[in-house]
């Protein structure tokens, strides 16, 4: 199972989650060329180890484990996955 970043991150892109991720699965980082253009941050589900370190540091409560993602934001599973395709 993976964590996913949903709608509340759009326009916020607070990188506290990036800083605590032990496997570097949240992108883009501020150092990446496409950071400014990105609408939000994304979690790479194939790399996420389901540790949950990112969830409590998100200031806008945008990060959810897959089984707790609000139904209204189910599309963010594909949005996160497609970012890394």
Tens-digit pLDDT profile for residues 24-61: 999 999 999 999 999 999 999 999 999 999 999 999 99
Q: CA dist 73 to 5, 35, 62, 70, Å?
A: 9, 22, 10, 6
pTM over 0.85: yes
Distance CA 53, CA 5 (A): 13
Distance CA 51, CA 53 (A): 6
What pairing do the DSSP bridges indicate for beta strands 63-65 and 3-5?
A: antiparallel
Task: Delineate the domains of the chain, giving CATH numbers in brackets.
Answer: 3-83 (3.30.70.20)
Res 77: pLDDT: 97
Distance CA 34, CA 67 (A): 29
DSSP for residue 53: S
Give residue 1's pLDDT band: very low, low, confident or very high (50, 70, 90). Answer: confident
Tens-digit pLDDT profile for residues 55-83: 999 999 999 999 999 999 999 999 999 99
Res 42: pLDDT: 98
Please provide residue 68's backbone torsions phi and psi, each rounded to the nearest 5 degrees: -120, 5
């Amino acid at each position: 199972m993976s964590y996913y970043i949903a709608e509340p991150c759009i326009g916020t892109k607070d990188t506290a989650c990036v800083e605590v991720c032990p496997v570097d699965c949240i992108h883009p980082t501020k150092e990446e060329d496409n950071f400014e253009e990105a609408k939000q941050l994304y979690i790479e589900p194939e790399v996420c180890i389901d540790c949950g370190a990112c969830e409590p540091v998100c200031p806008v409560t945008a990060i959810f484990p897959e089984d707790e993602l609000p139904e209204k934001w189910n599309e963010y599973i594909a949005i996160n996955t497609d970012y890394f395709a």
